[in-house]
Amino acid sequence: MNASPRSSVAEARPSWPWALLAPGLLWLLLWFVAPLASLVPMSLSEPRDRFSLAVNFTGRLDNYAEVIGQYAPILLRSLQIAGSASLIALLIAYPLACWISFRGGRFKGLLLGLVVVPFFTSYLVRTIALTTLLADQGPVLSLVRALGLDGGLESIGLLSDGRLLNTAAAVVIGLAYNMLPYLVLPLVVSLESIEPQWLEAAADLHAGGFSTFYRVIWPLSLPGLSAGVVLSLIPGLGDVVNAQFLGGPNDRMIGNAISNLVLVQGQAPKAAALALLLMTLMTGAVLAQVRRHGSRELTAS
Amino acid sequence: MSRIAARLLTLWAGLAYGLLFAPIVVIVLFSFNLPSGRFNLIWQGFTLENWLHPFRDRALTDAFLTSLSLALAASLIATVLGGLMAIGLSRSQGRAHGAIELLLVLPLTSPEIVLAASLLNLFVQINLPRGFGTLVLAHSLFCLSFAALTMKARLGGVDWSLEAAAQDLGATPLRTFGQITLPLLAPGLLAAFLLSFSLSLDDYIISAFTAGQVIVFPLYIAGAFQREISPQIHVMATMVLLVSIGLLGLGLGSKDGE
């Protein structure tokens, strides 16, 4: 019913869609494809002098070898920090997504909206609020000390000299916080596909709570889970803000390294090489995710 | 699900919401703080002073106004171009379809720092001086993908046969567009515009690379970490939050009404 008039419009005016698509495509070519392409010659160049962004193209492949050698430890640390953050966020988000999907009832839309509302304020002002919460005399550390947990947390490396702010732990906390909606939304999309009858059927077949979870809920949530992990790792791995404002000088991530190379050191060619490596890594992960599970959960959020 | 497990799940969800809203509570609370030094980071005492003079911090107000006009320009471009693309995509099933969708998704799945560095690189190469203009170009680019995909999702429920019906009844193409097509598209266009607007208002990294000497709201705040965190920052963040919640409430309300 719906399809026939649509296709007849397309047949009657075959040039229509292209006229509609062209301006946007041109915009994407000019300000997405062209800039990325411009990184390729830049990554093979040498800076002309220290204080300008001018370069000479010399076809210098050594930039890649040098940035890999120099920044591999920072890339690994970024993977560790973003990976821990994603794991922590997942531990918080998974039960929350289950609760919203199975117990939300007619408030499901509102409950999902509430997950997103905190992200309507400025990212950087939220980060200021996190510094207030994590400060030495702030509420989080006061609670930890009141509960007598500071010694224990210190020994497993979550606190350094009784501090949270300006440590890697603070960067992980900040990232995990910002990852929550990226995990909750695709998980809920996946869990929605579970019909309540299936859970009843599992109970009828004498499956206990655990085996219902393990055999029904968990496998059906996997597409949402992997989409959520990918969606949270993309901004997490490339993040600049949390390491810059919550971390110490030794907690810099790969995004800070690129930013520093361009804006402070005037090393645009190395920054370009590093950026292209990061881009390849992440695009590969996204394409692998789409190939394995489709794009429903990825684009739904 | 056993009752204990259900209770635990509810408790966990409550804690998770508490966590999600903790920084928001701090922002709203500290907009009423009376800080003793230059940094509004420690609670000192309650005052209405900041709300009575929300625009006292001139540099902050200027940055905020710049951000508003940037967001307006970028979202208008993104909504028009993205809207056209979404309509084009919903009316074509060609081989290029998948490739175009991939091209739209890629800016969203690229690390922001890479987009930022690449845009700066291009602007330097083509000798385009950085400033408000380059900010608009850069912001309209990342908003375009969000706008087009938001529109596309909304177009799924649009009944295009109404258009054909209008034409069968003798309406001119212009009249069909004005009276049928545009009203059908309006909710999606509005959603795309508002999403673009809030993304642009909030962007820090791409702005840091493409702004030149222009200072937008997130750049001002980044500088404030070293200089002075005035309570007016918290007031403005609270205002943005209230406006966003209001618009979201309106959106949910109108959806329920239909």
A280 vs B contacts (CB less than 8 Å): none
Give residue A58's pLDDT band: very low, low, confident or very high (50, 70, 90): confident
pLDDT of A3 strictly over 50: no
Check whether A9 has a pLDDT greater than 60.
no
Please state, in angstroms and rounded to a whole number, the distance separating the CA atoms of residues A52 and A65.
Answer: 23
Task: Flag if A131 and B41 touch (Cβ within 8 Å).
Answer: yes
What pLDDT is attached to residue B173?
83
Is A122's Cβ below 8 Å from some Cβ in B? yes
pLDDT, one tens digit per residue, over B78-88 is: 999 999 999 88
pLDDT digits (tens, 9 = 90+) for A82-122: 999 999 999 999 999 999 998 888 899 889 999 999 999 89
pLDDT at position A192, please?
86
Domain boundaries, chain B: 58-229
pLDDT at B253: 63
The C-alpha angle with vertex A80 and arms to A76 and A82, in degrees rounded to 5, equals 115
Average pLDDT of the residues in A237-262: 94
User: Nearest C-alpha of chain B: how many angstroms from A118?
Assistant: 6
* Residue A1 pLDDT level (bands cut at 50, 70, 90): very low
Q: Output b/e per residue, A81-113; b: 16+ Cβ within 10 A.
A: bbbbbbebbbebbbbbbbbbbbebeeeeeebbe
pLDDT at A8 exceeding the cut of 60? no
Q: With CB atoms and an 8 Å threshold, state whether A278 touches B114.
A: yes
Higher pLDDT, B174 or A256: A256
Q: Do B252 and A259 touch (CB under 8 A)?
A: no
pLDDT tens figures, B75-120 = 999 999 999 999 888 877 667 788 898 899 899 989 999 999 999 9
CB contact under 8 A, A16 and B238: no
A118, A101, A65: which is closest to A273 by C-alpha?
A: A65
pLDDT 10s digits, A174-206: 999 999 999 999 999 999 888 777 777 777 777
Q: What is the mean pLDDT of chain B?
A: 90
ipTM of the complex: 0.89
In this prediction, residue A49 has a pLDDT band, given cuts at 50, 70 and 90, of confident
Query: In chain B, which among 97-136 make CB contacts under 8 A with chain A?
Result: 100, 103-107, 109-122, 124-125
Given a cut of 70, whether residue B53 has pLDDT beyond it is yes
Contact A35 B204 (CB under 8 A): no
Q: Which long-range contacts (CB under 8 A, 24 or more apart) does B102-107 make?
A: B103/A25, B103/A28, B103/A32, B103/A33, B104/A28, B104/B144, B104/B145, B104/B148, B104/B149, B105/A295, B105/A298, B105/A299, B105/B145, B105/B149, B106/A32, B106/A283, B106/B145, B107/A28, B107/A32, B107/B141, B107/B142, B107/B144, B107/B145
- pLDDT for res A150: 86
pLDDT at A6: 45
Q: Do A262 and B209 touch (CB under 8 A)?
A: yes
CA distance A209 to chain B (A): 5
AA letter at A189 = V
Lookup: tokens for B113:
């720092």
Interface test with B, best of A7, A122, A214, A240 (most B CBs within 10 A): A122
Distance from CA of A137 to the nearest CA of B (A): 9
What domains can you pick out in chain A, each with its CATH number? 44-300 (1.10.3720.10)
Q: Is the pLDDT of residue B223 over 60?
A: yes
pLDDT value at position B92?
Answer: 72
Give the minimum alpha-carbon distance from B188 to chain A in angstroms, rounded to a whole number: 15
Q: What is the pLDDT of residue A167?
A: 93
For residue B233, the chain A residues in CB contact (below 8 A) are 125, 128
Measured on CA atoms in the order B138, B139, B144, B145, is the torsion positive or negative? Answer: positive
pLDDT at residue A212 in the model: 79
Direct distance between the N- and C-terminal alpha carbons of chain A, in angstroms, rounded to an integer: 29
Which parts of chain B are beta strand (E)? Answer: none
Q: How far apart are CA B237 and CA B44, in angstroms?
A: 20
- pLDDT score at B209: 96
Average pLDDT rounded to a whole number, residues B215-227 = 93
Q: Confidence band (pLDDT; 50, 70, 90) for A299?
A: low
Rounded to an integer, what distance in angstroms lies between the CA atom of residue A172 and that of residue B183? 46
Q: Which residues contact B192 (CB under 8 A, 6 or more apart)?
A: B78, B79, B82, B83, B146, B147, B148, B150, B151
Smallest CA-to-CA distance from A300 within A184, A196, A221 is with: A184
Least confident window among A1-5, B70-74, B150-154: A1-5
Asked whether the beta carbons of residue B237 and residue A42 sit closer than 8 angstroms, the reply is: no
Q: What is the pLDDT of residue A50?
A: 67
* Option in B84, B245, B248 nearest A23 (CB): B84
Query: Measured between CB atoms, does B242 come within 8 Å of chain A?
Result: no
Judge contact between B251 and B198, C-beta under 8 A: no
Q: What is the pLDDT of residues A60-88, one digit of tens each?
A: 888 999 999 999 999 999 999 999 999 99
Question: Is-contact A246 A237, C-beta < 8 A?
Answer: no
Residues 6 or more apart in contact with residue A217 via CB below 8 angstroms: A98, A191, A194, A199
Q: State how far Cα A63 lies from the chain centre.
A: 27
Burial state string for A214-247 with b = 16 or more CB within 10 A and e = fewer than 16: eebbeeebebbbbbbbbbbbbbbbbbbbbbbbbb
Identify any residues that bridge with B128 across adjacent strands, giving them in sequence order. Answer: none
Q: Find the helix packing angle between B58-90 and B132-155, rounded to 10°.
A: 40
What does residue A47 show for φ and ψ, rounded to 5 degrees? -65, 140
Q: What is the pLDDT of residue A4?
A: 44
Instruction: Reply yes or no on whether the pLDDT at B256 is more than 60.
Output: no
End-to-end CA gap in chain B: 35
A51 pLDDT above the threshold of 80? no
Q: Does residue B154 register a pLDDT over 90?
A: no
Do A21 and B84 lie within an 8 Å CB cutoff?
Answer: yes
Q: Which residues contact A7 (CB under 8 A, 6 or more apart)?
A: B93
Are A283 and B27 an interchain contact pair (Cβ–Cβ within 8 Å)? no
pLDDT score at A297: 67
Q: Do A99 and B119 touch (CB under 8 A)?
A: no
State the average pLDDT for chain A. 87
pLDDT at B29 over 90: yes
Residue type, A216: V
Which of A24, A120, A286 has the CB atom closest to B198's CB atom? Answer: A120
Q: Domain B58-229, CATH 1.10.1740.10 — does that match?
A: no
